[in-house]
Structure 1
Amino acid sequence: MTERKRVIQTGWNLENSYARLPKSFFNIIKPNPVSSPKLIILNYSLATSLGLNGQALQSNDGIAVLAGNQVPKGTLPLAQAYAGHQFGHFTMLGDGRAMLIGEQVMPSGERVDIQLKGSGKTPYSRGGDGRAALGPMLREYIISEAMHALGIGTTRSLAVVTTGEFVVRENQQLGAIMTRVAASHLRVGTFQYVSKWGTAMDLRALADYTLQRHFPAVDAGGNQYLFLLREVIKRQATLIAKWQLIGFIHGVMNTDNMAISGETIDYGPCAFMDTYDPETVFSSIDIHGRYAYGNQPHIAEWNLARFAETLLPLLHVNQDQAVKLAQEAISDFTKLYHYNWLTGMRAKLGIFNEEVQDEELIEGLLSLMQKYHSDYTNTFLSLTFDTRWDVALFGSTEFAHWYELWQERLGRQKEQKASSHQLMRSSNPALIPRNHQVEAALEAAVKQGDYSVMERLLDVLKDPYAHSTEQIDYATLPAISNRPYRTFCGT
C-alpha cells in the first residue's frame, strides 16, 4: 500500500498555514524517532469529529504518526517561537518539547492544530531533553477531557503513546508523547515575542493571521486590531469565570499559557479545589501564591494588559491615542468577568432573574463555606438535592439564616421550584476530577501498567451533569491529611 493511500485511510487532512508566516516565527524541525511506541489511549469520539479513522490510528503507521516517528505526507512539522512573563519575569521561550505537525481541516471545515507534546528536542529546548513522562501526559489527557465535558473551553487530547524509552526527572520515568488538539497554539506570548524581536510588518502579519484564523467575520471597515483585542478580552473573561465557577486552579498562568482562542492550555500543575479557600495553591513552584484560585481573575487582566501592549503600534498611529484605546478595552475585563461569574453563580443557586442583593447572598454563602472549611463542589451539590452532608456548615445557625434568605429569594421569581432544581442540576456537576482520584489513576497506570482505574474515571467524567448513581462514589472527599496537595509541571 502506498503512503498516499495510508494517509487517506487514516483521514489526515493537514495544512500548514502557520508556515506561511515570517520564518522568524518558527523553526522547521524533523521528527525525533522513538524506539518502540505503544498506543496507551485513543480518544475515539474526538478522532471521529476530526475526520480520522480510529482503527487506522491504531495501526503501526497510525501509531508512528502519533509518536512522531513519521509525519503524514505533505506536512511541514515545526516548533513555534514565543516569549512570556513567567511568574512576572519576561523571557524568551518556544516549543521546547512540542512539534506542530499541521492543521487538521475537519469535515465541518473547521481548522485545528495537531501538536505532539514530548516529541523531542527543538531549537527552543534550552538544554532540556524535549521529552515528557507518562504521568504528566496522562494527567493532561484526564483533566483536559474533564474540562471539555464540564463545558469549559480547552485544548483536547487525541492520544497518548509510550515511547519505549525513559526520561529522567526526579527519577527515571517511562517516556510518553501526547497528541494535543487546539483551536490554535497562538498565545499572548506569541505576540510578545514578535513585539520584542520582530518588525512592525511581522506584528501586523501575526495579527492579520490571528483575525483570519479565529475571527473571520470581522468588519474590515473598522479598527480590526482593536476588535481583536476586545474579542480576546471577552473570551478570557468568559473562560476565567468558568474556571472560578467550577473551582479549577490552573497553577501557572504565565502569559505564554494564555491562548488567544480562549481555550485553557497547558495542564501542568493544575488541580480542582476541594475545600473552599480563595488562597488555595497547588503548584509546587508557586511559593508566593501568585496564581492562587482567588488571584486568577486579576492575573488574567494583567496578562491581557501585556497583550494590549503588543498591539499598541496597530491600534493607532498616535501613541497616546493607542494607549487610551488599549486602556479602555482592558478596563472592560473586570465588568465582563464579573457579569459572567455572577450569572453563573445565580444559576448554581437556581436563580433566573437579577436582583441587586444577589451578590451579597452569594458572597454570604462563600464566606460560610470558607469559615467552615466546606467542600466547594459538594456544597453546591448538596444545595441542589437538599441534602445536609456537611454537619459543621449546615448545622450552624448562620447557615440556617442564609438558607432562609435563599428560599425567600427563590420565591420572588416566577419560575417554579422544579425549574430552579433543573437549573442547578445543569450548573452544579455531580463530580470533578478529584485530585486523589486522579493520582490513584496515574499511580496505577505508571507504576503497575494498569489503565483500568483511569478508564473508569474517564468514563464517569464524560457527563458530569448526569448525576447518575455510578458517579456517587467519585464525589467522595479524600481522607484528611496534614500534607497539602502539591502538583508539578512535569518538565
Structure 2
Amino acid sequence: MTVHFPFQNSYSALPDSFFARVAPTPVAAPRLIKLNRPLAVQLGLDPDVLETPEGAEILAGKTVPAGADPIAMAYAGHQFGQFVPQLGDGRAVLLGEVIDKDSIRRDIQLKGSGPTPFSRRGDGRAALGPVLREYIVSEAMFALGIPTTRSLAAVVTGEHVIRETALPGAVLTRVASSHIRVGTFQFFAVRRDTDAIRRLADHVIARHYPELSGAERPYHALLSGVVARQADLVARWLLVGFIHGVMNTDNSSISGETIDYGPCAFMDAYNPSQVFSSIDEMGRYAYANQPRIALWNLTRLAECLLPLFSDDQEKAVAEAQDILGAFSDTFSNAYQAGLRKKVGLFTERDGDDALIQDLLDAMAKNQADFTLTFRKLGDAAGDPAADDARAQFMDPGAFDEWARRWHERTALEPQSAAERQAAMHAVNPMFIPRNHRVEAVIQAAVNNDDYTPFEELVKVLAMPFEDQPDYAAYADPPLPDQRVLQTFCGT
C-alpha cells in the first residue's frame, strides 16, 4: 500500500521570499506513537496506511510523500516585546496543503523535522515531552470547542536530542488552517516590501476571509476580521482557564486559531496573575494579561497594513486605530456572555456582571479550583443541596453568601433546574489537561517508553463535558506535592 496525500499547495506558489525550500532531515528509526485516526479521515487520508512503517517514515520526515512541496515559512516577530526581524520555521517543515471533507484547506506540517535556513544554530529537532504536550493540549482544546491547530500524529525518531540532558527525539504532525502569523506580515513590513504585504494580505483574504474579497476596503476589512477572531479566541481561553504562555507576535495566528503550544497550561486554583512559563519571568503573558497582549499584537499587525490603507500616513493610522478600538467591546461581549453561560444565566439583567465578578473575586481569595467550581456549580443548579462547589473554597461561607444571591437571580428565569444544569454542564468541562497529569504522561513515556497513560489521558480529554465515572480521578486537582509550578518551552 502507498501513502497518498491529495496535496493542493498554494503557499509554496507565492514568491520565494515567503519561504525557504527545504526537505525534512531523515531520522534513524521512526516509530509511530499515536495516529489521530478521525482527523486522518477528515483530511481525506487512509489511517490504515498511515499506521504502516511507510506511513511512520513520512510522519517522521524520513520519506517525502508524492505531491509534497516542503518549505520552511519566513516570519519575524516580537518576542516578549523585543522585535526580531527574522525568525521563521527553525524546526518545522510544511509538507503541503490538503482540502478536507468540509472543503477547508489545511496545512500539514512536521514539527521537529530537522534544521532549516531559519534555525539560528538550533538543531531543528523536538524532544518527546513537548511533542506529547502539544498533542494532548491541542486535541483537548479541539474537544473544548476552541479554535486550534490539531495533532495528526506523534512519532519517535529513534534518535536523541540534547537539551539539558539527552532526551528521546520525536516529530509532531501538525494540522492548521494555515501557519500565517502576525509575524509573517512583520517579516515584510520591516523590509518595507509593500508588494509582498499586499500579496500576503490577498492570500489571507482568499484563504481565511473569502467573504471580504468584494469589500470596498478589503484590507481594512481584513484587519477588522482578524481583530474579531482574536478577541473571541482569547475570551474562550479565559473561560476555560487556559494560559498560552508565550503570546509573541510570531505565535499569533491570522486565522484565529490557537497555535504553538509551548509552555502552555491550564489553571488549577483561580488566580488572575497566574504564570507557568519558565521564560515569562515578568508575567507579561499571565492569565489576565492575555486580552491586553492580544490587542498589542493586533496593533503590530495594523502597523504592517498601514501602507495598504492609504498613502496618507495620518489617515491610515486613524483608520487602523478605529478598527482596533473594536477589540475591547468584542472581547468583553464574548467573555461576559461566556461567563453568564458558565453560571447558568439565560438572560441579561443589571447586576449580572457584578454578581459574576464577586464569584471570581471569592474564588481568587479562597484558592478555589477554576474548573471544578464552575462544574460543581452546575450540580448545585440542579440540586440546591449539592455542596461540592462550596467545598472548593477555603472559607465555604464565602460561597454560601454568593450562592444565596445567585439562587435569587436564577429564580427570576423560567428554566427548570434540570435545564439549567444541562446548559451549565455543556459549557463547564469536567476534564481539562491538568498540568500534573500531563507531566505524569510525559515522564512515563520518556523514562519507561510507556504510552498507556498518554492513551488514557487523550481518551478522557476527548469527552471533557461528560462525567466519565470510571475516570473521575482525572478531574481531581493536584495534591500539594503534585503541583506543577513551571512549564517549559520545547526548544
Q: Structure 1-normalised TM-score?
A: 0.96
> Could you say which residue in structure 2 is the equivalent of 1:85?
78
* 1:81-135 CA distance string (max 9 Å, x none): 0000000000020000000000012233221000000000000000000001011
- CA offset digits 1:183-237 (Å, max 9, x no partner): 0000000011111125211110000000001011225241000110011011111
Question: 1:457 deviation in Å?
Answer: 0.7
Q: Provide closer, same or farther for how the CA distance between residues 479 and 422 of structure 1 changes in structure 2, counting only shifts above 3 A.
A: same
Alpha-carbon distance in 1 for matches of 2:192, 2:427:
44
2:149 aligned with 1:150, yes or no? no
Alpha-carbon distance between aligned partners in 2 of 1:482 and 1:183, rounded to the nearest angstrom: 36
In 2: Cα distance, 1:24 partner to 1:323 partner: 27
2:73·2:88 contact (CA, 8 Å) conserved in 1? yes
Whole-angstrom distance in 2 between the partners of 1:466 and 1:477: 17
Correspondence 1:49 to 2:58: no
CA distance in 2, matches of 1:167, 1:193: 29
Residue number in structure 1 paired with 2:340: 346
- Within-5 A mapping of 1:184-263: 184-263=178-257
The AA in structure 1 aligned to 2:34 is I
Aligned equivalents of 1:150, 1:392: Cα separation in 2: 22
Residue number in structure 1 paired with 2:387: 388
Using the TM superposition, name which of 220-229 and 138-147 deviates more. Answer: 220-229
The CA deviation at 1:31 is 2.7
Secondary structure of 2:72 counterpart: strand
The residue that corresponds to 1:464 in the other structure is: 464
Any idea what SS the aligned residue of 1:143 has? Answer: helix
Q: Give the CA deviation at 1:418.
A: 2.1
The SS at the match of 1:14 is coil
Distance change in 2, residues 1:39/1:198 (3 Å): farther
2:162 matched to 1:163?
no
Mapping 1:23-422, distance limit 5 Å: 23-91=16-84, 92-386=86-380, 387-389=386-388, 390-391=390-391, 393=393, 396-422=396-422
SS of the residue aligned with 1:472? helix
Matches within 5 A, 1:477-488: 477-481=477-481, 485-488=485-488
8 Å CA contact retained: 1:431, 1:471: no
Return the letter of the residue paired with 2:486.
Answer: R
Structure 1 counterpart of 2:110, one-letter code = L
Q: Distance in 2 between matches of 1:221 and 1:458?
A: 43
Q: 1:145 touches 1:156 (CA, 8 Å); kept in 2? A: yes
Alpha-carbon distance in structure 1 between the residues aligned to 2:145 and 2:262: 20
- Equivalent pairs: percent with the same residue? 50
Name stretches of at least 5 consecutive residues in structure 2 with no aligned partner.
381-385
Q: What displacement does 1:445 show?
A: 1.0
**How far 1:158 sits from its partner (Å)?**
0.4
The one-letter code of the counterpart of 1:313 is P
Per mean C-alpha deviation after superposition, the further-off stretch among 141-150 and 406-415 is 406-415
Q: Distance in 1 between matches of 2:154 and 2:137?
A: 14
- How many aligned positions are there? 484
Separation (CA, whole Å) in 1 of partners of 2:101 and 2:328? 37
Bigger shift: residues 67-76 or 283-292:
67-76
Check whether the contact 1:460–1:470 (CA below 8 A) recurs between aligned residues.
Answer: no
3-state SS of paired residue (1:356): coil
- 8 Å contact 2:205–2:213 — kept in the other structure? no
Contact 2:91 2:124 in 1 (8 A): yes
User: Which consecutive residues of structure 1, in runs of 5 or more, have no partner in the other structure?
Assistant: none
Q: Distance in 2 between matches of 1:116 and 1:388?
A: 47
Q: CA RMSD in A?
A: 1.4
Q: 3-state SS of the aligned residue for 1:167?
A: strand
1:261 positional shift: 0.6
Q: CA deviation at 1:401?
A: 2.0
Q: Which deviates more from structure 2 when the two are superposed, residues 180-189 or residues 61-70?
A: 61-70
Return closer, same or farther for 1:461/1:57 CA change in 2, 3 Å cut-off: same
Deviation at 1:417, TM superposition (A): 2.3
User: Does structure 1 retain, via aligned residues, the 8 Å contact 2:369–2:392?
Assistant: no
What whole-Å deviation, never above 9, does each CA across 1:35-76 have from its counterpart, x for those lacking one?
A: 111111110010011111011101222112111112122321
The residue identity in structure 1 corresponding to 2:457 is L
Q: Give the secondary structure class of the aligned counterpart of 1:15.
A: coil
Pairwise CA distance, 1:414: 2.6
Task: Tell me: CA distance 1:258–1:324, structure 2 relative to 1, closer, same or farther (3 Å).
Answer: same
Aligned-partner Cα distance in 2 for 1:214–1:296 = 23
Give the secondary structure class of the aligned counterpart of 2:353: helix
Q: 1:235 to 1:392 in 2, by over 3 A?
A: closer
Alpha-carbon distance in structure 2 between the residues aligned to 1:219 and 1:88: 33
| Alpha-carbon distance in 1 for matches of 2:483, 2:36 | 34
Tell me the secondary structure at the aligned position of residue 197 of structure 1: coil
What is the TM-score with the length of structure 2 in the denominator?
0.96
Per-residue deviation, residues 147-198 of structure 1 (Å, max 9, x unmatched):
0001011000000111111100010001110000000000000011111125
Give 2:383's aligned residue.
none
| Alpha-carbon distance in 2 for matches of 1:429, 1:12 | 35
With over 3 angstroms needed to count, the CA separation of the structure-2 counterparts of 1:392 and 1:248, relative to structure 1, is closer
